[in-house]
Amino acid sequence: MASPHGDGGDRESSPYVELDRSAWAALALSTEQPLSRDEVDRVRGLGDELDLDEVAQVYLPVSRLLSMYVAAASELHRSQEAFLDQPQPPRTPFVIGLAGSVAVGKSTTARVLQQMLAHWPEHPAVSLVTTDGFLHPNKELERRGLLNRKGFPESYDTKALLSFVIDIKSGKDEVEAPTYSHLSYDVLSDEKIVINRPDIVIIEGLNVLQPARVRDDGRSGLAVSDFFDFSVYVDAATGDIRRWYTERFLRLRETAFRNPASYFARYSRLSEDDAAQQARDIWDTINGPNLKQNVQPTRSRATLVLRKDADHSVRYVRLRKL
The pLDDT score that the predictor gives to residue 195 is 93
Laid out side by side, the sheet with 230-235 consists of 16-20, 314-320, 304-308, 230-235, 94-100, 200-204, 126-130
Helix (H, G, I), strand (E, B) or coil at 31: coil
Identify whether 10 is part of a domain: no
In one-letter notation, the amino acid at residue 58 is V
Residue 247 sits in which domain range?
Answer: 17-312
Sign of CA dihedral 290, 255, 50, 156: positive
pLDDT tens-place string over residues 140-198: 999 999 999 999 999 999 999 999 999 999 999 999 999 999 999 999 988 999 999 89
Helix (H, G, I), strand (E, B) or coil at 218: coil
Residue pair 218/111 in contact by the 8 Å Cβ criterion: no
- Angstrom distances, CA of residue 113 to CA of 203, 222, 225, 238: 11, 27, 19, 24
Please enumerate in sequence order all residues whose Cβ is within 8 A of that of 97, keeping only pairs 6 or more positions apart, or say none.
203, 204, 208, 209, 224, 225, 228, 230, 231, 232
Residue 38 pLDDT class (50, 70, 90 cuts): confident
Identify whether 205 is part of a domain: yes
pLDDT at 48 > cutoff 90: no
Identify whether 7 is part of a domain: no
Dist CA 307 CA 314 (whole Å): 5
pLDDT tens-place string over residues 115-137: 999 888 787 899 999 999 999 99
Determine the distance from the C-alpha atom of residue 90 to the mean position of all C-alpha atoms in its chain, rounded to a whole number: 26
Question: What mean pLDDT is reported for the chain?
Answer: 91
Identify whether 239 is part of a domain: yes
Identify whether 5 is part of a domain: no
Identify whether 193 is part of a domain: yes
Identify whether 322 is part of a domain: no
The pLDDT score that the predictor gives to residue 47 is 57
pLDDT at 8 > cutoff 60: no
Dist CA 267 CA 271 (whole Å): 9
Number of independent structural domains in the chain: 1
Across the range 306-322, mean pLDDT stands at: 96
Helix (H, G, I), strand (E, B) or coil at 228: coil
Question: Which CATH number belongs to the domain containing residue 180 in this structure?
Answer: 3.40.50.300
The pLDDT score that the predictor gives to residue 3 is 45
DSSP letter at 20 equals E
Identify whether 39 is part of a domain: yes
pLDDT tens-place string over residues 197-222: 899 999 999 999 999 887 778 788 89
pLDDT at 6 > cutoff 60: no
Sign of CA dihedral 237, 238, 240, 244: positive
